[in-house]
Structure 1
Amino acid sequence: MSLAADLAPHLSHLRRYARALTGSQVHGDAYVRACLETIVEAPDEFPRDVGAKVGLYKVFYAIWMTAHVDEPADLDDSMAKPERRLQRRLEELTPVSRQALLLTAMEGFGENETAEIIGITPDEVGELVEMALADIQRQERTKVLIIEDEPAISMDLASLVTDLGHQVVAISMTRNQAVKAARDHKPGLVLADIQLADGSSGLDAVKEILGQMEVPVIFITAFPERLLTGERPEPTFLITKPFDHRTVQATISQALFFNTSEALVA
């Protein structure tokens, strides 16, 4: 099997990771493109002594840590200004600890695989994750709107959000309920399902909400690959159903850190 075929199943996951790491679809996808261009230019240098997914993320890590990837030339001013703010905030962080948490909690890598990607020992991975979790505990608390039509899932999310110290201000099951709840409560974070109870769309609900206020949004879907193509404006933060509690924790932390929104265009 060719290298391209080996890597193809992992590209949507890498996009999700890169977007969460940078807080931006545009910037995250740019890093993914730079990673793929590097592999295409020097395929013989791709790390074949590890699995294809680990090797892909290892190349991405090297790009992330050593290269400045420019934004696309056609990026308009409305997107460029938030992107510049994001880049300044990235420089204030300890990115290795954030990567360790995202690699383990969001991408499902074990400590040995994460150590291979980052180039450290498994014990050091555990220490970095603990550092990142400590940072989460120091984050400011906020009001959260949950848009979800499955009661069991919404209750689970509400419990997770409350355990993190945040306040759930409303749980909405339809687009109209969600828009009204956002208007009434002015949340600091939105967790949104894609398919809602009355057949309406969580994407449309969020688009309408973002037209009225700036708020970070995390989408929850059983089919994340449909929103990780890199071919159109897509969500920055995605949680896959069924979700792991640590994935929710890590994603909420990232979304609140950046605290900026990208309008989602259907």
Structure 2
Amino acid sequence: MSSEKPLRILVVEDEILIALELESLLQDLGHDVVAIAASSGDALARGRELKPDLAFVDIHLSDGPTGVDVARRLAGELQVTVLFMTANTKRIPEDFAGAWGVIAKPYTERGVREALGYVTAGQLREPDEARTVTFVPFGAAPRERSPQVS
């Protein structure tokens, strides 16, 4: 478990087994999963209500390919740090919809760790050559705000 303050994380994923597995992994890494949302409406409502530090957002949700809109609104309106978690990276827009990076599915524990390290430290903890392609940070992601780890 990390000595850093736990992040409050919203998991936006409509495949319940993937969501529960990710929740378990994040909890094992010392973080607090505040909610799991399967649709865009639920994700935005949970984001407003719970004000998470970080959201893992799948592109395709139970109400269609609405994850990009969810990411854009969570990042823009609610100031939530967003990471995409998807097998369909071609749907990520050029402006990244406010997200800081993407974790490719199927994800690995190492990819999730790298992503968490990236958002908490603002940079990767391992040299680029040692990094897997499971997590890809976006170079244009906003760096002026970091997750609220107060």
Instruction: Tell me the TM-score normalised to structure 2 length.
Output: 0.74
Q: Which amino acid aligns with 1:146?
A: V
Q: Deviations over 1:119-150 (max 9, x none)?
A: xxxxxxxxxxxxxxxxx823221210000000
CA distance in structure 2 between the aligned counterparts of 1:146 and 1:181, rounded to whole angstroms = 10
Contact map agreement 1:192 1:218 (CA 8 A) in 2: yes
Q: Deviations over 1:152-172 (max 9, x none)?
A: 110111011101111111100
Q: Does 1:164 align with 2:29?
A: yes
Corresponding residue number in structure 1 for 2:103: 239
Contact map agreement 1:220 1:238 (CA 8 A) in 2: yes
Superposed counterparts of 1:176-187, under 5 Å: 176-187=41-52
Contact map agreement 1:218 1:255 (CA 8 A) in 2: no
Which one has the bigger strand percentage? 2
Give the drift of 1:177: 0.3
CA distance in structure 2 between the aligned counterparts of 1:194 and 1:226, rounded to whole angstroms = 7
Candidates 39, 43, 46, aligned match of 1:174 = 39
Q: Does 1:218 align with 2:72?
A: no
Which one has the bigger helix percentage? 1
Residues 165, 201 of structure 1: CA spacing in aligned structure 2 closer, same or farther, 3 A cutoff? same
CA distance in structure 1 between the aligned counterparts of 2:63 and 2:78, rounded to whole angstroms = 24
Candidates 18, 26, 36, aligned match of 1:153 = 18
CA distance in structure 1 between the aligned counterparts of 2:9 and 2:114, rounded to whole angstroms = 16
For structure 2, the residue ranges without an aligned partner over 5 or more in a row are 124-140, 143-150
SS of the residue aligned with 1:250? Answer: helix
Higher-Rg member (1/2):
1
User: Could you say what the CA RMSD is over the residues aligned between the two structures, in angstroms?
Assistant: 2.1
For structure 1, the residue ranges without an aligned partner over 5 or more in a row are 1-135
CA distance in structure 1 between the aligned counterparts of 2:87 and 2:71, rounded to whole angstroms = 18
CA distance in structure 1 between the aligned counterparts of 2:68 and 2:92, rounded to whole angstroms = 11
Corresponding residue number in structure 2 for 1:144: 9
Give the drift of 1:226: 5.0
Superposed counterparts of 1:44-123, under 5 Å: none
Contact map agreement 1:174 1:197 (CA 8 A) in 2: yes
Q: What count of residue pairs does the alignment treat as equivalent?
A: 123
Q: Deviations over 1:221-244 (max 9, x none)?
A: 11335548xxx3124311001111
CA distance in structure 1 between the aligned counterparts of 2:63 and 2:90, rounded to whole angstroms = 24
Between the aligned residues of both structures, percent identity stands at: 33
Corresponding residue number in structure 2 for 1:253: 117
Residues 226, 208 of structure 1: CA spacing in aligned structure 2 closer, same or farther, 3 A cutoff? closer
SS of the residue aligned with 1:190? Answer: strand
Corresponding residue number in structure 2 for 1:197: 62
